[in-house]
Amino acid sequence: MESFKVKLSSGREVEINEEAVTVLNEYVRTQITLEEMTRRLGLTSWEEAYELIKQVPAWVMWTPISIYKRT
């Protein structure tokens, strides 16, 4: 899987790699909180997590990680 980076308003760049996609998949399919996502992705606040969700294309969050691993 090729990764890409998302730049947040704080200036921080978040790499969207296999680990991040796994967390985003879990976020959209289960009940993990923004705070849990913040902790798992190493962000500083739930606001950063929310901003990240707004910037990452929906298809990235909903595509199963097993499909990414095949590419």
pTM of the predicted model as reported, rounded to 2 decimal places:
0.85
- DSSP characters for 2-47? --EEEE-TTS-EEEE-HHHHHHHHHHHHS---HHHHHHHHT-S-HH
Structure tokens at 56: 């990452």
Q: In this model, does residue 5 exceed pLDDT 80?
A: yes
Q: Cα 71 to chain center, whole Å?
A: 19
DSSP state at residue 57 = -
Which of the four pLDDT bands, split at 50, 70 and 90, describes residue 3? Answer: confident
| 42 Cβ contact list (under 8 Å, min separation 6) | none
Place of tokens 């996609």: 21
Average pLDDT, the chain: 91
